[in-house]
Amino acid sequence: MAVMTTRISAMWSPPVLFAHRGARANAVENTLEAFQLAKRLGATGIETDAWITRDGEVVLDHDGHARFFPRRWIAEVDRADLKAHIPTLDEYYEALGTELPLSIDIKNPEVFDAAVDVARRHGAVDRLWICHPDLDRLIDWRDRAPDCHLVNSTSLEKLPVSAEKRAAELAANRIEAVNLRHGEWTGGLTTLFHRFDVLCFGWDAQHERQIARLIDQGIDAVYGDYVDRLVAVEATFR
């Protein structure tokens, strides 16, 4: 792959390379093994999803089902009832440490306070990035946890306002970043959000050309399943 030069300046350089659900292209997703492998391969951030069990443990899993028959939600069972490969957030920090930024997608709002509390106990809340699509929810969370980072994960078609209006709303409410699927980003859009000091994150970048395009457009963080590709492409911009 030819060496490229970033044409649009990012707020973060180099961008954070978030391993989506760990190194899920090479290991079982959302397991300690996948997270540890991602770190060894050079990921500079880890992405996961968090849920809370009936007995109050924050665990890391994608869809929140306990994989019983019939299926039950993780919120309906205790931690001890889950499959052994599903780690708790405490176990994540014990195994990975607190060095890397951790991006958590939260679908059940009840998880938020518990996840932030775990990060605080490990001294990692300043490297915690909580993602959610609803701006009102994020604004509420900002008031409750001013010490963690918040990300508006959305799509352009779902925005009820213009991109410029959303950038202004995020900035006014101290929501630090917006996260869009890779194909929605343009250089003009990153420039717009950066004008409001809002970071630009791009997800589902699986192929070299997608990763390179995002970095070339001034993206601040990239989410992908293939950590080796993320690392190799980012290196061509140095």
For residue range 97-140, list pLDDT tens digits in order: 999 999 999 999 999 999 999 999 999 999 999 999 999 999 99
Give the predicted TM-score (pTM) of the model: 0.95
Q: Residue 2's pLDDT band (boundaries 50, 70, 90)?
A: very low
- Homologous superfamily (CATH) of 16-235 is Phosphatidylinositol (PI) phosphodiesterase (3.20.20.190)
What are the φ/ψ torsions at residue 100 (nearest 5 degrees)? -85, 145
Residue 238 has pLDDT above 90, yes or no: no
For 114, other C-beta atoms within 10 Å of its C-beta total 17
For residue range 58-87, list pLDDT tens digits in order: 999 998 887 665 678 899 999 999 989 999
For residue range 143-153, list pLDDT tens digits in order: 999 999 999 99
pLDDT for residue 1: 46
For residue range 3-55, list pLDDT tens digits in order: 445 589 999 999 999 999 999 999 999 999 999 999 999 999 999 999 999 99
Q: Identify whether 109 is preceded by a cis peptide bond (ω within 30 of 0).
A: no
For 128, other C-beta atoms within 10 Å of its C-beta total 23
